[in-house]
A = this chain, B = another copy of it.
Amino acid sequence: MSDAFRTWMKTTQADCEIALAEFLPAATVVPSRLHAAMRYAALDGGKRVRPLLVYAAGCLFGAPAGLLARAAAAVEMIHAYSLVHDDMPCMDDDALRRGKPTVHVQYDEATALLVGDALQAQAFLVLSEGAGDPGSKLAMLNLLAQASGSLGMCGGQAIDLASVGLALTREQLEQMHRLKTGALLRAAVLLGAMAGKQLSATETEALDSYAAAIGLAFQVVDDVLDASADSATLGKTAGKDAADNKPTYVSLLGLDASRQLAQQLCRDAHAALQPFGDSAQYLHDLADLIVQRQA
C-alpha cells in the first residue's frame, strides 16, 4: 500500500466520522437515550470499509463530495444496525463488538432493537435529503433497499441462521455470503459510482465483478481471522464460528487453501478494474487492504 493511499484512507475515514456525527440526531435531542445509543452503535469504531468503498468508487466519475458523504453514511448506518441486531441474544448473543460492550449489554435489549430499527430508517432518511438529481437519488435509494432487505443482507442472515450445524457445500456457503455481506459491499461500490453518473451496463458489470470478488474475499478473510486471531486483536469474540458450529471457508477448505483463495479473489478484483484505468487506484488498493487486514 502506498503512502498516498494511507493518507487518503485516513482522511476519508475522518470525513466519514464527521458525516455520521452530523447525520445522526444529537444525543441531547429527545428521546435522548435512544439517540445516545444510536451514536454509540455507529460512531467511533469500525474500519469503515463500506464508506471507503463508496468514496473510492466516487473517484471513478468525479462524484460530488456532499452526495458521497450521504451515501457513505447511509451504507454505514445499515451496516451498524445489522451488527446491533446480530449481536442480540436471539441471534449471535455476542457481548463484545469493536472492542466495546455490544448495545444490548451497554443499554438493554429493547433499546438495541429500537437502535437497529431507527438506524435503518435514518439511513434512508439521510440518502433522501440533500442536493443531487432526484432520479439518481431514487435509484440509489432503490439499490440500498434491495441490498438491505430479504433478497440482500437480511436474506443472507436468514440463510445463515438456517445453516447452523448443517454441512453446506461451497456453492451454498457462497450464496449465503453473497447476500449476507456481499450485497451491501456491492451497494457501497455502486452507490459511490452512481453518485458520479448514470452507469452504463458495461460499467455496472465491471463494478459487479469487482464487488463480487472483494465481497467473497472479505468473508474468506473473516473466517481465516476468526480461526487464527485472538479476541483482543479482532475487537470481537474470536473462535465463535467453530464454537457455534457454523460452516466457514476454513472448515470447508482449511486455513491454507482459504488464504490462497483470498489472494486469488484479490487478483480477480484488480482485473475487473482494468477498464477504469488510474481512476480506480483507490478501489484497487482497497482490495489489497481487505485481503491483508489483521482484524
Residues of A within 8 A of B (CB): 25, 29-31, 33-35, 38, 81-82, 85, 88, 90-91, 108-114, 116-118, 120-122, 124-125, 128-129, 134-135, 137-138, 141-142, 144-146, 148-152, 154-155, 157-159, 161-162
Residue of B nearest to A155 (CB): B31
Identify 7 new A-B residue pairs, CB closer than 8 A, beyond the known A30-B159, A121-B152, A138-B141.
A114-B157, A118-B155, A120-B121, A122-B145, A122-B149, A122-B150, A125-B145
Q: What are 16 sample pairs from A and B whose C-beta atoms fall under 8 A apart?
A: A30-B159, A31-B162, A33-B162, A34-B150, A34-B154, A35-B150, A81-B117, A90-B108, A118-B150, A121-B152, A121-B154, A124-B141, A125-B146, A128-B145, A137-B138, A138-B138
Tell me how far the C-beta of A71 lies from the nearest C-beta in chain B, rounded to whole angstroms: 14
Say which residue of B113, B128, B141, B149 sits within 8 Å of A88 (CB atoms). Answer: B113
A142–B128 touching, CB < 8 Å:
yes
B31–A159 touching, CB < 8 Å:
yes
Residue of B nearest to A31 (CB): B158
Q: Which residues of B contact A112 (CB under 8 A)?
A: 90
Alpha-carbon distance A122/B145, docked complex (angstroms): 7
Copies of this chain assembled into the complex: 2
Q: Which residues of B contact A144 (CB under 8 A)?
A: 124
Q: Which residues of B contact A88 (CB under 8 A)?
A: 90, 113
B117–A116 touching, CB < 8 Å:
yes
Q: Which residues of B contact A138 (CB under 8 A)?
A: 128, 134, 137-138, 141
Q: Which residues of B contact A134 (CB under 8 A)?
A: 134-135, 137-138
Alpha-carbon distance A111/B91, docked complex (angstroms): 9
Q: Which residues of B contact A121 (CB under 8 A)?
A: 120, 145, 148-150, 152, 154
Alpha-carbon distance A129/B145, docked complex (angstroms): 10
B109–A90 touching, CB < 8 Å:
yes
Residue of B nearest to A112 (CB): B90
Whether A25 touches B125, Cβ cut-off 8 Å, given contacts A90-B109, A111-B158, A134-B138, is no
**Nearest 4 CB-CB pairs, A to B?**
A121-B149, A90-B109, A125-B145, A34-B158
A125–B109 touching, CB < 8 Å:
no
B90–A110 touching, CB < 8 Å:
yes
Tell me how far the C-beta of A168 lies from the nearest C-beta in chain B, rounded to whole angstroms: 14
Q: Which residues of B contact A148 (CB under 8 A)?
A: 117, 121
Q: Which residues of B contact A91 (CB under 8 A)?
A: 110, 113
B162–A142 touching, CB < 8 Å:
no
Whether A158 touches B124, Cβ cut-off 8 Å, given contacts A134-B134, A138-B134, A150-B34, is no
Q: Which residues of B contact A33 (CB under 8 A)?
A: 158, 162
